[in-house]
Amino acid sequence: MKLANPLQYPLAVLAGGLFLVGGVRLVRLPNVVAIPVAVAIATAGATVLQSRGPETVELTNKAINREFQQVRQQAVALGTRADELHEEATKLLTASDQMELLGVVQYACDRTQELPQKIDQLAQRMDGNDALLSVDELNHQLKQAEAKVRHSKGVAQEQWGKLANSLKRNIALAQHGEDARQAQLANLSTLIAESGGVLQQLQNKLRTADLTSSVAADELRDLSDEFKGFQENVDVLIA
């Protein structure tokens, strides 16, 4: 049986994470023992879950399917990078006893692993040559985005504003009887690409910062929050 990427399966990650925290905090296992065992537990759990998982989604409309597959590949690639960051953060932040910050970074990485499955769910709603996105559905997404704009600040507000503008363009397409699905997938592609940029910043900061510094910890936390903001944008598009 082929081993699975544990970060694509949140339950497997949870099992490994619980062992890691319990082993380090309660049993006082050394990191060189706790981390490999936690990874092994997560990998074993993910492999079992993978064997029960659904097959890859294929859309009936060939043009839409091409766009969908490209976006899904982006999501999988982002998940792989998040996997690498998760492992690196676990080693560095555990060694510097930054367990609270580790939890923040791990949560952001774990959410990324849900992306392919969420995109598959969106594809199932999009399937069929005549399955145009409805104006009502897009308006609902727009209301969610505009509410976030009103209650956000700084970078998060800018992110939500961009999403709201994109949704307005998609609504205009749908109102004129045009297929807004490709535009919606393009929005997803942009969000995933921008998420990748923030993920890279997070990894760079993790590698170069003084992890015992409160200033560096705050910067890492802010980047993690920005990364989660993109994930929330995605959630609105696929809700």
Let me know if residue 92 belongs to a domain: yes
Let me know if residue 36 belongs to a domain: no
Tell how many helices (H) and how many strands (E) occur in the chain.
9, 0
Let me know if residue 175 belongs to a domain: yes
Tell me if residue 133 falls in helix, strand or coil: coil
Q: Report the number of distinct structural domains present in the chain.
A: 1
Let me know if residue 8 belongs to a domain: no
Scanning 96-132, the segments in alpha helix (DSSP H) are: 99-112, 115-126
CA distance 129 to 127: 7
Among 79, 95, 77, 100, which residue's Cα sits nearest to residue 32? 95
CA distance 188 to 199: 16
Among 6, 187, 2, which residue's Cα sits nearest to residue 82? 6
CA dihedral for 61, 66, 69, 75, sign (positive or negative): negative
Query: Residue 171 in contact with residue 139, Cβ under 8 Å?
Result: yes
Let me know if residue 49 belongs to a domain: no
pLDDT at 129: 47
The pair of structure tokens assigned to 65 is 């399917």
Average pLDDT for runs of 10 along the chain of length 239: 59 74 75 78 73 60 83 91 89 85 86 86 70 76 90 85 88 76 85 90 89 87 88 83
pLDDT at 159: 86
CA distance 59 to 123: 7
What does DSSP assign to residue 27? Answer: S
pLDDT at 17: 73
Let me know if residue 167 belongs to a domain: yes
What range defines the domain where residue 204 resides? 54-238
Radius of gyration of the chain, Cα coordinates, nearest whole angstrom: 19
Query: Residue 103 in contact with residue 224, Cβ under 8 Å?
Result: no
Tell me if residue 32 falls in helix, strand or coil: helix
CA distance 25 to 104: 18
Residue with tokens 């510094």: 213
